Amino acid sequence: MIVGNRKEFREILEMLGSRRRVLVLGCNECVTVCGVGGEREVGVLASELRLYWKKEGQDFEVREHTVERQCDYEYIDQIRGFVGDYDAVLSMACGAGVQYVAETYKTKPVLPAVNTTFLGVTLEQGVWSERCQGCGSCILDMTAGICPIARCAKSLMNGPCGGSSGGKCEVGNDVDCAWQLIVDRLSESGQLDRYEEILPVKDWRSGRDGGPRKRVREDLKL
Amino acid sequence: MKTNSRIEKIWESGGFIVTSECGPPRGADGDVIRRKGELLKGVVDGVNVTDNQTSVVRMSSLSACVILKGMGLEPILQMVCRDRNRIALQSDILGAAALGINNILCLSGDHQKFGDHPQGKNVFDIDSVQLIQTVCRMRDEGRFLGGEEVKGKPLLFVGAAENPFADPFEIRAMRLGKKVKAGCQFIQTQCIYNVEKFSRWMGMVCDRGLHEKCAILAGVTPMKSVGMARYMKNNVPGMDVPDDMIERMKGTPKEKQAEEGIKICVETIERLKEITGVRGIHIMAIEWEEKVAEIVKAAGLLPRPEV
């Protein structure tokens, strides 16, 4: 899933500037699972805004609304009837959702309330960890199911570097060395000899280096 | 393919190689390099010039290499994958060869987190093993990574680093094997304080016959004080400083610690020289270049061979 962090309240206030009629728009998908932009978090942010502006003695109108997904037009279209009543949409979706809402309502300011961070997994309640960078050409078959692109701080295809120590990465003791994990897994499955293969230079064109990506499936088009 | 590298010539003639290091300044004063160069002249066979080591901005490695070359020294161009993509790396490889540089050391590079621009974006388009392959392909096949022909092959003697003390230990010799397979001809190791562990690694290297395909230069760094020894032990990832060495430095009066550090370094070199497969010493006297001559002399490694 896509994982994000909510922006600090101060930063959100600065983005809003003098706008006081705000639609706080949640998304029921990834950002709900990672506890940052679902119905509950929409309620929390809306309350924070109301309390703050009330204390400041200002006039305001904050509306809460959460759609199924902000990355699909049919759901974004559901706010068409009332979005015009607000000065700004404060989107709590990932960056894709924020942009799609903005594309849909061309003259409406759509502001991000969330910093989108990574594609990851839930390690335990309240803990998420990065697993994928969407490079567009998966090599997990060659790296024992552990991605060095996403999980090695240097994205080394032939690691580990000299900074791997006690299973941890040189960038921090809370970061696992991806290549230690790869070696351990190869070792446990009796495939350590595979480590000796030199992984070739990667073709990054399938990733963001090739420019913004678009996928078309003619067979699925209506 | 033979190059004009002095290191390669000594390796070919069966001699023992001594290299050292020169860190470029954090400014545009070329005299800093000239002063360091003077200290190393006639004392070592080659001088590594670091490439923005620890991710701190410094004068470029290639420029400092050219200054040293002009003084008659044999520079070893360090090149890290952190700051340049394959286009820039290959371009600098050509430039280095055109400027008469004969040696290159291919490295991944420290993460920028450690440097003075932790906000920066890193590149890591290719890694150190792939950089070795790239230089060798340009030199031996006359092809760029993209497949186009190189008009005027860069004749560089290709090296890399290896850290016998990093984890996981069991694959460290295998990793060297990958570098040798990629075309690596010489290796400089991380600073060795734990000679016993290094010796075990060398055993694994020799079992694989890697010492015959690649010159292994054992790395040493003299310690200036017990503070430095402790810092290295606790703060430098992948560094193995045994407790008895810390104790020895601690037991020495403060004003004598630098001298003791040099003594330990010389003793370490003596031990390393005896280990099968070690073909040279790489002395990394960090901002202490003036001590290199003394260390080389005390270790019985002077005069350096004429090649």
Q: Is residue B154 included in any domain, yes or no?
A: yes
8 Å CB contact of A156 and B124: yes
Minimal CA separation from B30 to chain A, in Å: 31
Average pLDDT over residues B72-93: 98
Q: Is residue B303 included in any domain, yes or no?
A: no
- Give the amino acid at B295: I
Residue-wise pLDDT for B18-67, tens only, equals 999 999 999 999 999 999 999 999 999 999 999 999 999 999 999 999 99
pLDDT at B236: 83
> A2-118 belongs to which CATH class?
alpha beta
Q: Does B294 touch chain A (CB under 8 A)?
A: no
Provide block-wise average pLDDT over 10 residues at a time, chain A (222 residues).
97 98 98 96 98 98 98 98 98 98 98 98 96 97 97 97 93 96 97 95 96 96 92
pLDDT at B235: 85
B37 CB-near residues (< 8 Å, 6+ apart)? B22, B47, B67, B68, B71, B73
Partners of residue A200 in chain B, C-beta under 8 Å: 130
- Give the amino acid at A72: D
Residue-wise pLDDT for B133-170, tens only, equals 999 999 999 999 999 999 999 999 999 999 999 999 99
| Domain locations in chain A as residue ranges | 2-118, 133-206
CB–CB contacts below 8 A, A to B: 97
Q: Is residue B39 included in any domain, yes or no?
A: yes
Other C-beta atoms closer than 10 Å to the C-beta of B204 total 18
Whether the CB-CB separation of A172 and B175 falls below 8 Å is answered with no
Q: For the range A74-83, what are the long-range contacts, defined as Cβ-Cβ under 8 Å and sequence gap of 24 or more?
A: A76/A100, A76/A101, A76/A104, A77/A104, A79/A23, A79/A25, A80/A105, A82/A23, A83/A23, A83/A108
Q: Within its chain, how far is the Cα of A21 from the centroid?
A: 27
Query: Three-state SS across chain A?
Result: CEEEEECCHHHHHHHHCCCCEEEEEEECCHHHHCCCCCHHHHHHHHHHHHHHHHHCCCCCEEEEEEECCCCCHHHHHHHHHHHCCCCEEEECCCHHHHHHHHHHCCCCCEEECEEEEEEEEEEECCEEEEEECCCCCCCCCCCCCCCHHHHCCCCCCCCCCCCCECCEECCEEEEECHHHHHHHHHHHCCCHHHHHCCCCCCCHHHCHHHCCCCCCCHHHCC
CATH code for the domain of B17: 3.20.20.220
Strand order in the sheet with A114-124: A2-6, A114-124, A127-132
What span, in angstroms and rounded, lies between the C-alpha atoms of B50 and B118? Answer: 19
Q: What is the pTM of this model?
A: 0.96
What span, in angstroms and rounded, lies between the C-alpha atoms of A64 and A164? Answer: 47
Enter the DSSP assignment of B281. E
- Domain membership of residue B123 as a residue range: 6-222+278-298
pLDDT at B237: 76
What span, in angstroms and rounded, lies between the C-alpha atoms of B232 and B227? Answer: 9
Q: Is residue B235 included in any domain, yes or no?
A: no
Q: Does B190 touch chain A (CB under 8 A)?
A: yes
Confidence of residue B1 (pLDDT cuts 50, 70, 90): low
What span, in angstroms and rounded, lies between the C-alpha atoms of B218 and B98? Answer: 30
Q: Within its chain, how far is the Cα of A63 from the centroid?
A: 24
Residue-wise pLDDT for B213-253, tens only, equals 999 999 999 999 999 999 999 988 789 999 999 999 999 99
User: Nearest CB to B167: which of A153, A157, A167?
Assistant: A167
What span, in angstroms and rounded, lies between the C-alpha atoms of B96 and B250? Answer: 44
Using DSSP, state whether B198 is helix, strand or coil: helix
Search chain A and give the residue with CA nearest B130.
A201
Partners of residue B181 in chain A, C-beta under 8 Å: 196, 198
- Give the amino acid at B94: L
Distances (CA, A) of B269 to B172, B193, B200, B256, B298: 22, 10, 16, 20, 10
Average pLDDT over residues B193-199: 97
The number of distinct structural domains making up chain B is 1
User: Nearest CB to B237: which of A165, A195, A198?
Assistant: A165
Q: Does B163 touch chain A (CB under 8 A)?
A: yes
